[in-house]
A and B are shown apart, each in its own frame.
Chain A
Amino acid sequence: MNSVEGLVTQIQGLSSSASDVLSLHNVLKQADDSLHAESTRLLPFLDQLDPSKHSLGYLYFLEACTAGPVTTESASSFVLIIARFITSCAADQIRLAPDKFISVCKRLKDQVLFLEEPLRAVAPMLSAIRKLQSSTENLTTLHPEFLLLCLLAKCYKTGLSILEEDIFEVDQPRDLYLYCYYGGMICIGKKCFRKALELLHNVVTAPMSTINAIAVEAYKKYILVSLIHHGQFSTSLPKYASTVAQRNLKSFCQPYIELANSYTSGKITDLETYVHENMEKFGSDNNLGLVKQVVSSIYKRNIQRLTQTYLTLSLQDIASTVQLNSPKEAEMHVLQMIQDGEIYATINQKDGMVRFLEDPEQYKTCEMIERIDSSIQRLMTLSKKLTVLDELMSSDPMYLGKVGRERQRFDFDDFDSVPQRFNI
Chain B
Amino acid sequence: MASSSSSGLTFKLHPLVIVNISDHYTRVKSQMNPPPLTSTSATVNGVEHQQQAPRVYGCVIGVQRGRTVEIFNSFELLYDPSTHSLDRPFLEKKQELYKKVFPHFYILGWYSTGSDAQESDMHIHKALMDINESPLYVLLNPTINPAQKDLPVTIYESELHVIDGIPQLIFVCSSYTIETVEAERISVDHVAHLKPSDGGSAATQLAAHLTGIHSAIKMLNSRIRVLHHYLVGMQKGDIPCENSLLRQVSSLLRRLPAIESEKFQDDFLMEYNDTLLITYLAMFTNCSSTMNELVDKFNTAYDRHSRRGGRTAFI
- Show the binding face of A for B, using Cβ within 8 Å: 207, 209, 239-240, 242-244, 362-366, 368-369, 372-373, 375-376, 379-380, 382-383, 386-387, 389-390, 393-394, 396, 398-399, 402-404, 406-408
CB-CB under 8 A from B287, the residues of chain A are 379, 382-383, 386
Instruction: Out of A243, A365, A402, name the residue touching B305 (CB < 8 Å).
Output: A243
CB-CB under 8 A from A207, the residues of chain B are 298, 302
Given contacts A243-B304, A383-B287, 6 further A-B contacts (CB under 8 A): A363-B273, A372-B280, A383-B290, A389-B294, A399-B297, A403-B315
Chain B: number of interface residues, binned into ranges: 20 to 34
Rounded to whole angstroms, the CA-CA distance of A380 and B297 in the bound complex is: 22
Q: Is the pair B276, A376 in contact by a Cβ cutoff of 8 Å?
A: yes
Q: Is the pair B276, A369 in contact by a Cβ cutoff of 8 Å?
A: yes
Rounded to whole angstroms, the CA-CA distance of A221 and B311 in the bound complex is: 38
CB-CB under 8 A from A394, the residues of chain B are 297, 315
Rounded to whole angstroms, the CA-CA distance of A403 and B312 in the bound complex is: 7
Who on chain A is nearest to B286 by CB? A383
For residues 284 through 315 of chain B, which have their beta carbon under 8 Å from a beta carbon of chain A? 284, 286-287, 290-291, 293-295, 297-306, 311-312, 314-315
CB-CB under 8 A from A209, the residues of chain B are 304
Who on chain B is nearest to A238 by CB? B295
Rounded to whole angstroms, the CA-CA distance of A362 and B267 in the bound complex is: 11
Can you report 17 A-B residue pairs in the complex whose CB atoms are below 8 A from each other? A240-B298, A243-B303, A369-B276, A372-B280, A376-B279, A379-B283, A387-B290, A389-B294, A390-B293, A390-B294, A390-B297, A396-B297, A396-B301, A399-B297, A399-B301, A406-B311, A407-B314
Rounded to whole angstroms, the CA-CA distance of A243 and B299 in the bound complex is: 9
CB-CB under 8 A from A383, the residues of chain B are 283, 286-287, 290
Rounded to whole angstroms, the CA-CA distance of A9 and B215 in the bound complex is: 69
Rounded to whole angstroms, the CA-CA distance of A207 and B303 in the bound complex is: 9
Interface-centre pick from B279, B280, B290 (highest chain A CB count, 10 A): B290
Q: Is the pair A362, B290 in contact by a Cβ cutoff of 8 Å?
A: no
Q: Is the pair A373, B270 in contact by a Cβ cutoff of 8 Å?
A: no
Does chain A have a CB within 8 A of B208? Answer: no
In the assembled complex, the CB of A376 is this many whole angstroms from the nearest CB of chain B, namely 5
CB-CB under 8 A from A387, the residues of chain B are 290
Does chain A have a CB within 8 A of B269? Answer: yes
CB-CB under 8 A from B277, the residues of chain A are 363, 372
CB-CB under 8 A from B276, the residues of chain A are 369, 372-373, 376
Who on chain A is nearest to B312 by CB? A406
CB-CB under 8 A from A402, the residues of chain B are 300-301
CB-CB under 8 A from B286, the residues of chain A are 383
In the assembled complex, the CB of A416 is this many whole angstroms from the nearest CB of chain B, namely 13
Rounded to whole angstroms, the CA-CA distance of A366 and B290 in the bound complex is: 31
Q: Is the pair A386, B290 in contact by a Cβ cutoff of 8 Å?
A: yes
In the assembled complex, the CB of A406 is this many whole angstroms from the nearest CB of chain B, namely 6
Rounded to whole angstroms, the CA-CA distance of A386 and B287 in the bound complex is: 8
A240-B280 CB under 8 A given contacts A363-B273, A386-B290, A408-B311:
no
Rounded to whole angstroms, the CA-CA distance of A75 and B290 in the bound complex is: 51
In the assembled complex, the CB of B269 is this many whole angstroms from the nearest CB of chain A, namely 5
Q: Is the pair A365, B312 in contact by a Cβ cutoff of 8 Å?
A: no
Q: Is the pair B279, A403 in contact by a Cβ cutoff of 8 Å?
A: no
Who on chain B is nearest to A205 by CB? B295
In the assembled complex, the CB of A360 is this many whole angstroms from the nearest CB of chain B, namely 14
User: Quick one: CB contact mask for B259-271 with A, threshold 8 Å, 1 for yes?
Assistant: 0000000100110
Rounded to whole angstroms, the CA-CA distance of A389 and B304 in the bound complex is: 21
Q: Is the pair A393, B305 in contact by a Cβ cutoff of 8 Å?
A: no
Q: Is the pair A362, B270 in contact by a Cβ cutoff of 8 Å?
A: yes
Who on chain B is nearest to A380 by CB? B283
CB-CB under 8 A from B293, the residues of chain A are 390
Q: Is the pair A369, B300 in contact by a Cβ cutoff of 8 Å?
A: no
Q: Is the pair A407, B311 in contact by a Cβ cutoff of 8 Å?
A: yes
Interface-centre pick from A209, A244, A363, A398 (highest chain B CB count, 10 A): A363
For residues 192 through 246 of chain B, which have their beta carbon under 8 Å from a beta carbon of chain A? none
In the assembled complex, the CB of A264 is this many whole angstroms from the nearest CB of chain B, namely 27
* For the complex of A and B, 6 pairs with smallest distance between CB atoms: A399-B301, A240-B295, A372-B276, A393-B297, A386-B290, A398-B301
Who on chain A is nearest to B294 by CB? A390
Q: Is the pair B299, A239 in contact by a Cβ cutoff of 8 Å?
A: yes
Q: Is the pair B300, A403 in contact by a Cβ cutoff of 8 Å?
A: yes
CB-CB under 8 A from B270, the residues of chain A are 362-364
Rounded to whole angstroms, the CA-CA distance of A240 and B276 in the bound complex is: 30
Q: Is the pair A365, B297 in contact by a Cβ cutoff of 8 Å?
A: no
Q: Is the pair A369, B273 in contact by a Cβ cutoff of 8 Å?
A: yes
Rounded to whole angstroms, the CA-CA distance of A408 and B310 in the bound complex is: 11
A243-B294 CB under 8 A given contacts A369-B276, A376-B276, A406-B311:
no
Interface-centre pick from B274, B299, B304 (highest chain A CB count, 10 A): B299
In the assembled complex, the CB of B192 is this many whole angstroms from the nearest CB of chain A, namely 34
Instruction: Out of A362, A379, A380, A399, name the residue touching B300 (CB < 8 Å).
Output: A399
CB-CB under 8 A from A240, the residues of chain B are 295, 298-299
CB-CB under 8 A from A375, the residues of chain B are 280
Rounded to whole angstroms, the CA-CA distance of A309 and B219 in the bound complex is: 55
In the assembled complex, the CB of A176 is this many whole angstroms from the nearest CB of chain B, namely 15
Q: Is the pair B272, A403 in contact by a Cβ cutoff of 8 Å?
A: no
Who on chain A is nearest to B315 by CB? A394
CB-CB under 8 A from A382, the residues of chain B are 287
Rounded to whole angstroms, the CA-CA distance of A365 and B272 in the bound complex is: 10
A242-B290 CB under 8 A given contacts A372-B273, A376-B280, A407-B311:
no
Rounded to whole angstroms, the CA-CA distance of A217 and B48 in the bound complex is: 90
Who on chain A is nearest to B277 by CB? A372
Instruction: Out of B280, B299, B311, B312, name the residue touching A379 (CB < 8 Å).
Output: B280
Rounded to whole angstroms, the CA-CA distance of A242 and B276 in the bound complex is: 36
Rounded to whole angstroms, the CA-CA distance of A408 and B314 in the bound complex is: 10
CB-CB under 8 A from A376, the residues of chain B are 276, 279-280, 283
Who on chain A is nearest to B310 by CB? A406
CB-CB under 8 A from B297, the residues of chain A are 390, 393-394, 396, 399
Who on chain A is nearest to B306 by CB? A243
In the assembled complex, the CB of B90 is this many whole angstroms from the nearest CB of chain A, namely 55
Q: Is the pair B314, A365 in contact by a Cβ cutoff of 8 Å?
A: no
CB-CB under 8 A from A380, the residues of chain B are 283
Q: Is the pair A369, B299 in contact by a Cβ cutoff of 8 Å?
A: no
CB-CB under 8 A from B300, the residues of chain A are 399, 402-403
CB-CB under 8 A from A242, the residues of chain B are 303
CB-CB under 8 A from B274, the residues of chain A are 363
Rounded to whole angstroms, the CA-CA distance of A408 and B269 in the bound complex is: 55
Rounded to whole angstroms, the CA-CA distance of A373 and B273 in the bound complex is: 9
Q: Is the pair A379, B302 in contact by a Cβ cutoff of 8 Å?
A: no
Rounded to whole angstroms, the CA-CA distance of A399 and B315 in the bound complex is: 10
Q: Is the pair B312, A368 in contact by a Cβ cutoff of 8 Å?
A: no
Rounded to whole angstroms, the CA-CA distance of A396 and B298 in the bound complex is: 10
In the assembled complex, the CB of A269 is this many whole angstroms from the nearest CB of chain B, namely 42
